Structure 1
Amino acid sequence: MDTFINGLNLVLTVDTLLVILAASLFGIFVGAVPGLTATMAVALLVPVTFYMDPTPAIAAIVATSAMAIFAGDIPGTYLNIPGTPASAAYVGESHMLARQGRAREALGINLVCSVFGGIFGTVVLIVVAQFLAEVALKFSAFEYFWLAILGLSCSIFISSGSKIKASLSLLFGLLLSTVGLDMMSGAPRFTFGVPDLMAGVNFIPVMIGMFALSELMKYYGSHSENKKVNMTSSDNVFSQVPVHVKKYWPNMLRGSSIGTLIGALPGAGADIAAWISYAVSKGKSKDKSQYGKGHIEGIVDASSANNSGISGAWVPALVFGIPGDSITAIVIGVLYMKGMNPGPTIFMDGSGLIYALFIVFILANLMMLPIGYMAIRLSKIFILTPSRVLMPIILCFCIVGAFAINNSMTDVWIMLIIGLISHLLISNDFPVAPAILGLVLGTTVENNFMSAMMRTGGDLTSFFARPISATLGIMVIFIWCSPLIMAIYKGYTQRSNV
């Protein structure tokens, strides 16, 4: 109890509360700008944290990351351009609702689900941190291989339209993931003599090109100004939230649970949590046909998952010093710099720093409600600003965002080329979301497969030799066979009716 009180005293100071407020506003701004990510926002804060005490420094990172993930939904809703990768899973649903004049309704339920998911993940982090971290540590190359394959399979099954086109889009993303040095031989692949490609194709420029630049090309190719969404004066942010919460509260719990579990797996993060939660939502829904047309249910699941995934990612980071995502990878460095060595001993420290961190998580998520509400009210700038003015500004941010990752013009060229290819794909009804997931998970699939093969001497049955690996493998095979099973079942039902 004394340790908890010490933690409370560390947080409830004027300096720490002001830092949380300032970091929240900064996170809202960065997340709402297409091309700038939550990871970039946290990275920009690191030099500032040098001059802070440990508690305000960690508080700034927590508040910024939580706000940025939510704020990414604002441009996604109004412009169909996700501000952060974690918003990409359900950007289509949000934008379709905006085109129906329900932009603030979509953002309102998104905000509430984000707060709920963040607090849910924090409670889990407090209660069962050690247990979840131990489960995540049991994952070897075999389990990570199946988890990545599961994510790739979900990207096809959640796509609307032709599954063949979704598969081809996924293969394009997997092709991009092969660029760089070969894991086994160290030989460069598809680098064409460009040194910057030795490390592979960076995810951020590809995401900017696929979502933001392709949308700009679509706008300039249409020669029209009807890109704005509709919004009536009676469109209130929270008016429909009680109705949706009452109807979809099981989805909020399910999405938050999935997000926390996926976030606790090292390297998974909020992006994959959102995709998997959206896939589960569509698979379990009674209104599958409404997905892709502006369905609240998918937003509830995925937006609860990505914010709870942020909290979940802190589990391996705090307990074992293993980063759960790119944000906690930065955080671990800050923790060491501030004298907080991640590991089991961090919970035995009597200074109260770990409890201060938990309290900061709760405060940051609660502050998301008023600050997020103000951001939604001010977000009408996206519709009041003429598209001919807004689009060039977004293009500038896209170029800056692509360049700022590695200070490399190669990333800018990648963004431009991928943007052109994505525009051609979208024009021919190819979904680009599977390509993004293929790029993200392609390296994970290859590295873990090769690692497992080296460990077992090429024995493929070893992928089913461990309980968790076998369970994931059976799930993947079931998903692959589900269309055939459904076709056989429908044929049997029709014959029985005759």
Structure 2
Amino acid sequence: MTDILEAISLVASWDVILVIVAASLFGLFMGAIPGLTATMATALLVPVTFFMEPLPAIAAIVSATAMAIVAGDIPGALLRMPGTPASAVYADEAYLMGKKGKLGLALGINVTCSMLGGIIGVIVLALFAPRIAEFALQFTSDEYFWLALLGLSCAILVSGKDPLKGAVSMLIGLTIAMVGMDSVSGQVRFTFGSYDLLAGVSLLPILIGLFAITELLRSIPGSGHGAPKTDVPPGCVLSGVGSTTWRYKGGVARGGLLGTMIGALPGAGADIASWISYAISRKLSRTPEKYGTGHPEGLVSASAANNAALSGAYIPALVFGIPGDTVTAIIIGVLMTKGITPGPDVFTEQGALVNAIFLVFVLANLLLLPLGILAIKGAGRLLTVPTGVLYPLILMFCIVGAFSANNTMFDVWIMLGLGLLGYFLMENDFPLGPLILAFILGPIIESNFMRSILKSDGDLMAFVDRPIAMVLAILAVLVWTLIIANGLRKSQSKSGSTGKSNDALNVANGK
């Protein structure tokens, strides 16, 4: 109880509150600009934290990261340009809601569910951090291989009505992910002699190209695709959000818990959490056919998951000093520069600081609502700008975002090339989601497969000789079996209906 009271006094100081508000505004700006990710926002804050005490330094990073993830939803809904990778999974859903005149509802759901998911993550972090961390530490390359393979099945689950086109899109993503030097063997692949491709293709140019450039091409006059309508209401932005969120409250809870668990796995992160949560939500939904058409149910679960994953990533970081993602790696570095070494002893020796960090998480997530509403109100006016002015500005931000990935023009050309590819895929009804997810998970699957093969000396049975690995393997096989069985059943039903229609035509023609 003493630690809790001391934590409240630490967080209630004016300097900590001021840092939380300032960092949130900074994260809002960084996340709202496509290409400037939450990780980049965190990295830019590191030099500033050198002049702060431990708690304000952590508060700055936590607040900026949470707000940047939420702010990434804004350009996704307005212009189909996800501000961060974690926003990519539901950018289409939010954008299509905007085209239906429900932009305010889409952004309101994003902000509200992100806040709720983040708070769920904090509660789980505070109550079960040591136990979840112990479970996460049991994962070896075998478990990560099966988990990533299970996640790859989400590429088919989010592919829409045509699983075959989703599979083709997934294979394109896996092919792009193989470009560059193999992280385990050092083998160079598909670089065609280009030095710039040795490190592979960066995620930012891919995201910006496939979403932003593709949408710009589709918005050209005469393309048949208009700009979205805006319905950001003059009054309260949250009108209708409460009832929608309550209707899908199970998705909020599931997304929050799932996001926390996935975030606790080192290397997983908010983007993978949101993809998996969206896919599971679609699979469990009573109306899966509405997904991909501007349906709020998909937004609810994925928005809750990506912010919950931020809290989950701090579980192994605080308990064992093992970073869950890039942001927590930076946090560990900041804590160590302050003379604090993350680990089990922190909970006993620095109990007040740990509880203060939990309170900072709660405040940062609660602050998402008022600042998010202000951002939505301001962002709604963006669509009133004439397209002749708006589109060149968007293209400029796209170029800056792609260039900022590695400070090279090569990434700009990659972005433009993938924009053309995305335009071709979208015009032929190939979903882009499986491509992005496969690109993210491809290297994880390959590197962990190679590590397991090397340490087992080629024995494939080593992949299932551990209990957790065996359970994940069984789940992966079951999911892929169901996907294949569903595909075969749909093809048989289509061929049967085609045969019946041909018979009816023959009868009508007197044959």
Tell me the residue number matched to 1:173. Answer: 173
* Cα shift readout 1:39-73 (whole Å, capped 9, x = no counterpart): 11111111221222211111111001101111111
Tell me the residue number matched to 1:410. Answer: 410
Q: CA deviation at 1:184?
A: 4.5
Tell me the residue number matched to 1:383. Answer: 383
* Distance in 2 between residues matched to 1:423 and 1:224, nearest whole Å: 13
| Paired letter, 1:15 | D
Tell me the residue number matched to 2:509. Answer: none
Q: CA deviation at 1:351?
A: 6.7
Distance 1:156 1:224, change over 3 A: closer
Distance 1:126 1:160, change over 3 A: same
* Distance in 2 between residues matched to 1:100 and 1:328, nearest whole Å: 38
Distance 1:170 1:345, change over 3 A: same
C-alpha contact (below 8 Å) 2:77/2:98 kept by paired residues: yes
Tell me the residue number matched to 1:65. Answer: 65
Q: Which moved more, 1:223-232 or 1:295-304?
A: 223-232
* Distance in 2 between residues matched to 1:234 and 1:378, nearest whole Å: 11
Q: Which moved more, 1:280-289 or 1:227-236?
A: 227-236
TM-score (normalizing by structure 2): 0.92
| Paired letter, 2:52 | M
C-alpha contact (below 8 Å) 2:270/2:306 kept by paired residues: yes
| Paired letter, 2:245 | V
SS at match of 2:219: helix
Distance 1:415 1:487, change over 3 A: closer
SS at match of 1:371: helix
C-alpha contact (below 8 Å) 2:90/2:298 kept by paired residues: yes
Tell me the residue number matched to 1:275. Answer: 275
Tell me the residue number matched to 1:304. Answer: 304
Tell me the residue number matched to 1:193. Answer: 193
TM-score (normalizing by structure 1): 0.94
SS at match of 1:16: helix
* Cα shift readout 1:81-107 (whole Å, capped 9, x = no counterpart): 111111111112111111111111111
C-alpha contact (below 8 Å) 2:161/2:289 kept by paired residues: no
Whether 2:476 is the aligned partner of 1:476: answer yes
Tell me the residue number matched to 1:139. Answer: 139
| Paired letter, 1:240 | G
Tell me the residue number matched to 2:461. Answer: 461
Q: CA deviation at 1:463?
A: 2.0
| Paired letter, 1:20 | I
Q: How does 1:72-151 map to 2 (within 5 A)?
A: 72-151=72-151
Q: How does 1:3-82 map to 2 (within 5 A)?
A: 3-82=3-82
SS at match of 1:352: helix
SS at match of 1:160: coil
* Distance in 2 between residues matched to 1:445 and 1:487, nearest whole Å: 24
* Distance in 1 between residues matched to 2:21 and 2:379, nearest whole Å: 19
What RMSD, in angstroms, separates the aligned Cα atoms of the two structures? Answer: 2.1
* Distance in 1 between residues matched to 2:326 and 2:211, nearest whole Å: 21
Q: Which moved more, 1:358-367 or 1:416-425?
A: 416-425
Unaligned runs of 5+ in 1: 493-498
* Cα shift readout 1:187-225 (whole Å, capped 9, x = no counterpart): 322223333322222111211111112112222364689
Q: Which moved more, 1:330-339 or 1:136-145?
A: 330-339
Distance 1:101 1:221, change over 3 A: closer
SS at match of 1:477: helix
* Distance in 2 between residues matched to 1:91 and 1:2, nearest whole Å: 45
C-alpha contact (below 8 Å) 1:263/1:311 kept by paired residues: yes
C-alpha contact (below 8 Å) 1:403/1:411 kept by paired residues: yes
* Distance in 2 between residues matched to 1:368 and 1:488, nearest whole Å: 45
* Distance in 2 between residues matched to 1:228 and 1:428, nearest whole Å: 21
Tell me the residue number matched to 1:495. Answer: none
Tell me the residue number matched to 1:161. Answer: 161
Distance 1:307 1:427, change over 3 A: same
C-alpha contact (below 8 Å) 2:95/2:228 kept by paired residues: no
SS at match of 1:348: helix
* Cα shift readout 1:249-292 (whole Å, capped 9, x = no counterpart): 11111111110011101000110100111111011111111111
Q: Which is higher, the Rg of structure 1 or of structure 2?
A: 2
SS at match of 1:452: helix
| Paired letter, 2:205 | P
Q: CA deviation at 1:394?
A: 1.7
| Paired letter, 1:348 | T
Q: How does 1:211-360 map to 2 (within 5 A)?
A: 211-220=211-220, 222=222, 226-231=226-231, 233=233, 236-350=236-350, 352-360=352-360
* Distance in 1 between residues matched to 2:138 and 2:5, nearest whole Å: 34
C-alpha contact (below 8 Å) 2:178/2:443 kept by paired residues: yes
C-alpha contact (below 8 Å) 2:179/2:197 kept by paired residues: yes
C-alpha contact (below 8 Å) 1:34/1:394 kept by paired residues: no
C-alpha contact (below 8 Å) 1:259/1:274 kept by paired residues: yes
* Distance in 1 between residues matched to 2:106 and 2:482, nearest whole Å: 32
Tell me the residue number matched to 2:393. Answer: 393
* Cα shift readout 1:215-237 (whole Å, capped 9, x = no counterpart): 12222364689413142757842
C-alpha contact (below 8 Å) 2:99/2:227 kept by paired residues: no
Distance 1:49 1:264, change over 3 A: same
| Paired letter, 1:166 | G
Percent identity of paired positions between Structure 1 and Structure 2 = 51
* Distance in 1 between residues matched to 2:370 and 2:378, nearest whole Å: 12
Distance 1:54 1:247, change over 3 A: same
* Cα shift readout 1:338-395 (whole Å, capped 9, x = no counterpart): 2221211221224722222111101101111111111111121222112221221122
Q: CA deviation at 1:483?
A: 4.1
C-alpha contact (below 8 Å) 2:105/2:237 kept by paired residues: yes
| Paired letter, 1:80 | R
Tell me the residue number matched to 1:362. Answer: 362
Q: Which moved more, 1:402-411 or 1:153-162?
A: 402-411
Q: Which moved more, 1:235-244 or 1:121-130?
A: 235-244
* Cα shift readout 1:88-134 (whole Å, capped 9, x = no counterpart): 11112111111111111111122111111001101111111111111
| Paired letter, 1:381 | R
* Distance in 2 between residues matched to 1:341 and 1:413, nearest whole Å: 43
